[in-house]
Structures are given as structure tokens and as C-alpha cells.
């Protein structure tokens, strides 16, 4: 038996710790939810003559609504009172809110926030105008996006839950199916996995409300928000996970006291708990929405269970390799090899289906982030299978001496000649013959197989341990890419959202900086500075225009006059005077009609005194 285990143990600990850290650090990347905005009513950027009675948003999959899912701001930048958000006509992929009976003419900004079916919050904004367009302010408070501390804590708990579930399911499966005689090395990781999954689930439940609303962690202490969480689908799934964990604790106590782990009842109960645990993820994430929901749910559960049996079982095998005897390993390792092969088969089939469901087309494989992550996962899985192949070779070499010993220990049958006497009578092998001499038993033909050397067993054990370590490291990469896939917009949803004009963000505006120099004296009003002109939405039709004047010291200054005119030389249109008026610190015009698309010449005239003024030309693009 190998004695110098200090360095391998430290290396194993570093690999496992690195796996956890990599997965946790992956949570720092921004996540993209799986629901995409398909359409809005009214359309984004549209001008309608009659005020709508309600706003309706349609998404690529079902969404959950919040108390503050809609924030509507009028032309005066004040918030408009709205009704309660609800689903339109009972359709779960829509969100609708009622508007007041009378809306003033001008442009309205709508900020929205919903919860995707995969439990991620989704937010955005769009505009529409009643009667005519008016200037919109970039300072409109469209609501919170995401608190980085809340998001980081939630993602950390989410990934810890994945890791703990895989270790819990894999270790129990290893104990029940591989049946190691000594399970002392697995007790601590099994206990740690259960407590980690319990703690991370509680954290997810408490942080769910501030995570959805984009608030800070202090929002977790709001009892009304917690009540809303426990009645939502993600909250119910987390409560169900807690209940399954309590049943699992009772099962683990029973398992620790039961000596015969081959009983079908134990295996059936363990499999049922593993499936129930996987359902708490599938029921609250992307598999529960979209196309083919029953098949997708089944595939997701099988995928999660197989992942746990394989990857969690690898960790259990790695820990068992340190303590079990070589004779015990010759039984345990081949059993796990067969279990791992079955798990990989399940993962391949379910992964292929889930990839097709998420991609939607072959073009999305290279044309979307989701597809490129799938390619990266395919490469990592290929490397993992290669590492598993080396492990199977070491497994065969480790089991070979035991097979040879078994063949040596079993005596060969000696054919009885016809008419041979009963045992103990003449003719029986080993019985006295007529001369009173016992017959020698028949010897095995062929040279005897050499007995394995003790050093060979240690070499095979070390080789298998190193191979399993490589599997664990590559499996960590596969699990990392998998978790990134769960937070990336699928190619199918991206294609559906791309069929309409871009929505979910504020409409495009054009900001033009116009430097001027009237050649005046020094000081803030020296005659040098910059005019920042904003065109909103910089499209054909009525546009809002705002002009802010900054002096040479980059500070805001007040000037006697600012004039803007627009000319389209290619069509001989203009000049069109914007008719700017002093709005107290800046100059603005709510309605400048630019009738044609193209590159317009904007002339900006700035007068800083009775005698000092300058006109500067700039090209601006007006979209159709």
C-alpha cells in the first residue's frame, strides 16, 4: 500500500478547491436571461393619434410579473399612474398594464421588468408618442437594473447548489451501486454536500425577492416581498427542494445504519429522491417553458441526475482510491466504470436534444453566443471522454490480477470415465487405486500465470488516481460551460426576437458636439466652448431637440441666443428652423419636423454677446 500520500492529497484538494473557485468566479459575468421581448403594443418609437388604453408586451416564453413591472413616464418626465400588471388574455408570455383615460400629447417612456421562466429577471425600455413626438430626457429614472452585490451573492448560491447536488447524488449512487465496504472516507463530503445544498437553498429563497426587483440585499428583510416569493414558481420550487432535503436526511440516516446496501428498496428510494431533487430545478428553469415542455422536463431531470451520478461519483471514487485495498478496488472500480458509461450515454442523448431545442437552427451554432458555448462544451466533453478512456484502461489493468487469481483458484473439472465408481471407489481421482496408491489429480495444462507483484498494484492505483484527477478537472470545465449556458440567451429565442425591430432599450438618439470660437476675450464667456445638441429620436418625422452650451472651462454657461437650422442639400430641402427657446439653462424645441431620411446639414449659431457670434456646420444622419 502506498505510504507517501501527502503530495497527492494536497494536489487533490487543490483540484477540488479550484473547481469550486472557477465556478464561483464564473458568476461574476453578467447573465443574459432566456426570455426576449418579441413585440410591444404600441410599437417601439411609433406615433399614434389616439392614446392607448393599455400597454402590452409579448415575450418569447412565459414570464412572471412583479408589483413594479411597469414604470411609465410622460412628456414632462413625471411618472404616470398605471393599473396592476397582469397577463393579457391569460397568456403567460405576455405582460399588460392599464393606462389613464387621458394622456397628454408627446413622447412616453416605458420601463419594464419581468421574471423569465428560467428564473432570471429581464428588463428594458421603449417609447411611444401620442399625437407628436416630444423631447425625452436621458435622466428619466427607468428603475433599477441589478444590484451587483445581490446578483453576486445569488449567483454564488446558485452554483454552490449545483455543486452540492452533484456531490450528494453522486456519492449516494456510488455507495448504493458500487457497494464499497468502507464508506468512512465518504461521510464528511456527504454531510458537507447536504448542508451546503440546504444553506444555498435558504440563501436563494431569501435573496429571491431583491434579486427579481434589482434591489440590494437589505430587501431580503421585507416580509411582504418574502410572501410574494413563496407563492411564485421559483419560490415554490425552492420550498419543495427544502422538503426533499429533509426526506434525504432521513434516508441518509437509514443508509448509514443499514449494512446490506444491495436491497432494491434502498435503491428505489434513493433514485426517487434524486429525481425529486432534479425536478426542483427543471420545474423553475428553462425546461418548463417553450416548446415540448413534457419532453424537455424529462430530458432535464435525466440530464441533471446523470451529471450528479457521473461527476459526483468521480469525486467519491477519488476519495475511495486513497483508502480502499487493492482487492476491494478490483470490485468497486469496474462497477463504477459501467455506471459512468451509462451516465455518459444518458448525457449524450439528453444533451443533444437540449442543444437542438435551444439552438433552433445550424446557423445559430456559430452565429450566436449560445451556439459558440455549445461548441466549447463539445470540445470539453470530448476531452473528458478521452480522460475517461484512460481511466477505463487503468481500471482493466487493476482488475486483471484479480481475474487471473480467480482462474487459478477454481479447480478444473476432471471427466469421469463411463462406469466410474462412486466417490471413494477405484476410479475416483485422488482415491486409492487397486495398488492402494492414491491417484494424482489431473494437472492444469499450460504454464501457470505469474502472480502479481505488490508493487504493480500500487502503480495501477496511482495511475488510476491521476487519470480520475484529470477527469475531475475537465469535468469542472464542462460544468462551468454548462452553468454559462443556463444564463445565455438560446439561439431559438434570439432568432424569434430578431424578427421584429430592436426593443427593450431606449430608442436611438443622436448627440452632436459642436465646438465654437467667436474670438472673444478670456474667461468663461471668452467666446470659446461647445454646444451639445441632442436629436430624439433622430428619425423621419417630428424630433425633439435640446442644446446645452458649455464654456472653455467645461462648465455650463448661459448665452443670449442659440439657433439651429437643418438643410438636406441632396433633396434641396431647407433650411428648417428648429425654433429653439430658452428653457432655463438649456435651449429646446419639442417638435422639429424632418420629413426625409438622409444626411442633413445642421447649422448651429451661438451668440455669446451683442457682437460676438459664430455659425458652425455639422452633418447629422436622420434614419427612416
pLDDT tens for each residue of 328-358: 777 788 888 889 889 888 988 888 787 777 6
Q: What is the 3-state secondary structure (H, E, C) of 233-258?
A: HHHHHHHHHHHHHHHHHHHHHHHHHC
What range does the domain containing 280 cover?
Answer: 148-407+455-491
Specify the CATH number for the domain of residue 585: 2.60.40.10
Q: Any idea what the CATH number is for the domain that residue 90 is in?
A: 2.60.40.1220
Residue ranges, the chain, pLDDT below 70: 1-34, 135-146, 259-262, 286, 289-290, 324, 326-327, 358, 360-361, 363-365, 367, 390-392, 395-458, 460-461, 476, 479-480, 482-510, 518-527, 585
- Report pLDDT for 227: 83
Per residue, the 3-state secondary structure of 65-116, as one string, reads CCCCCEEEECCCCCEECCCCCECHHHCCCEEEEECCCCCCCEEEEEEEEEEE
| Alpha-carbon gap, residue 163 to 315, rounded angstroms | 11
Residue 12's pLDDT is 47
Q: Alpha-carbon distance 318 to 333, whole Å?
A: 10
Looking at the fold, whether 205 and 301 belong to one and the same domain comes out as yes
Q: Is residue 135 part of a domain?
A: no
Domain assignment present for 7: no
173 and 78 within one domain: no
Q: Are residues 541 and 474 in the same domain?
A: no
For residue 303, what are the CA distances in angstroms to 119, 165, 351? 19, 13, 7
pLDDT at residue 334, as a whole number: 81
DSSP helix/strand/coil, 556: strand
197 and 159 within one domain: yes
Per-residue model confidence (pLDDT) at position 553: 72
Q: Which long-range contacts (CB under 8 A, 24 or more apart) does 155-158 make?
A: 155/27, 155/28, 155/31, 156/24, 156/27, 157/200, 157/203, 157/204, 157/207, 158/27, 158/200, 158/204, 158/483
Strand segments (E) across 395-466: none
- Is residue 15 situated within a structural domain? no
Give the Cα separation of 319 and 336 in Å (integer).
13
CA angle 572, 574, 576 (to 5 degrees): 165
Query: What is residue 505's predicted lDDT score, i.e. its pLDDT?
Result: 42
Query: How many helices (H) does the chain have, and how many strands (E)?
Result: 13, 18
Same domain, 105 and 248: no
Question: What is the pLDDT at residue 493?
Answer: 60
Into how many domains does the chain fold?
A: 3
Same domain, 159 and 226: yes
Instruction: Return contacts of 268-276, CB within 8 angstroms, 24+ apart.
Output: 270/172, 270/173, 270/176, 273/244, 273/247, 273/248, 274/169, 274/172, 274/173, 274/305, 274/308, 274/309, 275/301, 275/305, 276/240, 276/244, 276/247
Residue 415 lies in a domain: no
The answer to whether residue 112 sits within a structural domain is: yes
pTM of the shown model: 0.61
115 with 172, same domain? no
302 and 237 together in one domain: yes
Note the pLDDT of residue 494: 59
The CA distance from 182 to 179, in Å, is 9
**Residue 616: which H helix or E strand, with range?**
strand 613-622
Residue 104 lies in a domain: yes
Residue 20: inside a domain:
no
pLDDT value at residue 309: 92
- Percent of the chain at pLDDT above 70? 71
Amino acid at each position: 500500500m502506498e505510504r507517501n500520500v501527502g503530495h497527492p492529497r494536497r494536489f487533490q484538494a487543490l483540484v477540488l478547491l479550484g473547481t469550486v473557485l472557477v465556478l464561483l468566479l464564473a458568476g461574476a459575468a453578467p447573465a443574459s436571461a432566456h426570455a426576449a421581448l418579441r413585440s410591444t403594443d404600441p410599437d417601439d418609437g411609433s406615433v399614434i393619434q389616439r392614446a392607448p388604453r393599455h400597454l402590452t408586451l409579448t415575450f418569447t416564453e412565459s414570464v412572471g410579473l412583479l408589483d413594479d413591472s411597469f414604470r411609465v413616464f410622460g412628456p414632462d418626465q413625471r411618472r404616470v399612474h398605471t393599473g396592476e400588471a397582469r397577463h393579457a388574455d391569460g397568456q403567460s408570455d405576455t405582460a399588460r398594464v392599464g393606462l389613464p383615460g387621458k394622456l397628454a400629447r408627446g413622447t412616453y417612456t416605458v420601463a419594464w421588468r419581468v421574471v423569465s421562466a428560467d428564473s432570471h429577471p429581464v428588463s428594458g425600455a421603449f417609447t411611444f408618442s401620442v399625437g407628436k413626438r416630444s423631447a425625452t430626457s436621458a435622466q428619466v429614472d427607468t428603475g433599477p437594473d441589478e444590484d451587483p452585490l445581490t446578483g453576486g451573492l445569488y449567483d454564488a448560491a446558485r452554483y454552490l447548489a449545483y455543486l452540492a447536488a452533484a456531490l450528494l447524488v453522486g456519492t449516494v449512487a456510488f455507495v448504493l451501486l458500487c457497494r464499497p465496504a468502507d464508506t468512512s472516507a465518504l461521510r464528511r463530503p456527504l454531510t458537507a454536500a447536504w448542508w451546503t445544498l440546504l444553506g444555498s437553498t435558504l440563501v436563494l429563497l431569501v435573496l429571491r425577492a431583491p434579486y427579481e426587483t434589482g434591489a440590494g440585499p437589505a430587501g431580503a428583510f421585507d416580509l411582504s416581498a418574502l410572501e410574494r416569493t413563496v407563492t411564485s414558481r421559483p419560490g415554490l420550487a425552492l420550498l419543495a427542494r427544502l422538503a426533499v432535503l429533509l426526506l434525504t436526511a432521513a434516508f441518509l440516516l437509514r443508509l448509514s445504519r443499514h449494512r446490506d446496501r444491495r436491497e432494491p428498496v434502498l435503491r428505489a428510494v434513493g433514485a426517487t429522491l434524486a429525481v425529486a431533487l432534479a425536478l426542483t430545478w427543471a420545474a423553475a428553469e428553462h425546461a418548463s417553458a417553450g416548446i415540448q415542455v413534457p419532453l424537455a422536463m424529462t430530458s432535464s431531470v435525466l440530464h441533471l441526475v446523470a451529471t450528479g451520478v457521473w461527476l459526483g461519483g468521480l469525486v467519491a471514487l477519488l476519495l475511495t482510491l486513497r483508502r480502499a485495498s487493492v482487492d476491494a478496488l478490483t470490485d468497486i472500480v469496474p462497477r463504477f466504470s459501467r455506471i459512468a458509461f451509462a451516465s455518459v450515454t444518458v448525457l449524450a442523448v439528453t444533451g443533444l436534444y437540449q442543444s437542438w431545442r435551444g439552438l433552433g437552427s445550424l446557423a445559430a451554432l456559430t452565429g450566436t453566443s449560445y451556439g459558440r458555448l455549445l461548441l466549447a462544451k463539445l470540445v470539453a466533453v470530448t476531452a473528458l471522454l478521452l480522460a475517461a478512456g484512460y481511466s477505463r484502461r487503468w481500471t482493466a489493468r487493476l482488475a486483471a490480477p484479480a481475474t487471473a487469481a480467480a482462474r487459478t483458484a477454481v479447480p478444473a473439472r476432471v471427466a469421469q470415465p463411463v462406469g466410474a465408481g462412486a466417490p471413494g471407489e477405484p476410479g475416483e481421482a485422488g482415491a486409492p487405486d487397486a495398488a492402494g496408491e492414491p491417484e494424482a489429480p489431473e494437472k492444469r495444462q499450460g504454464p501457470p500465470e505469474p502472480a502479481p507483484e505488490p508493487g504493480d498494484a500500487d502503480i495501477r492505483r496511482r495511475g488510476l488516481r491521476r487519470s480520475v484527477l484529470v477527469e475531475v478537472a475537465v469535468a469542472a470545465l464542462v460544468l462551468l460551460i454548462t452553468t454559462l449556458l443556463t444564463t445565455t440567451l438560446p439561439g431559438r429565442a434570439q432568432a424569434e426576437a430578431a424578427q421584429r425591430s430592436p426593443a427593450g432599450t431606449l430608442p436611438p438618439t443622436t448627440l452632436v458636439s459642436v465646438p465654437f470660437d467667436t474670438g472673444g476675450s478670456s474667461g468663461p464667456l471668452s467666446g470659446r466652448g461647445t454646444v451639445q445638441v441632442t436629436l430624439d429620436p433622430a428619425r423621419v418625422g417630428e424630433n425633439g431637440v435640446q442644446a446645452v452650451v458649455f464654456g472653455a472651462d467645461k462648465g455650463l454657461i448661459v448665452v443670449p441666443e442659440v439657433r439651429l437650422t437643418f438643410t438636406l442639400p441632396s433633396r434641396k430641402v431647407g433650411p428648417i428652423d428648429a425654433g429653439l427657446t430658452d428653457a432655463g439653462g438649456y435651449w429646446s424645441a419639442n417638435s422639429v419636423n424632418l420629413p426625409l431620411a438622409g444626411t442633413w446639414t445642421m447649422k448651429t449659431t451661438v451668440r455669446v454677446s451683442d457682437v460676438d457670434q459664430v455659425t458652425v456646420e455639422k452633418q447629422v444622419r436622420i434614419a427612416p
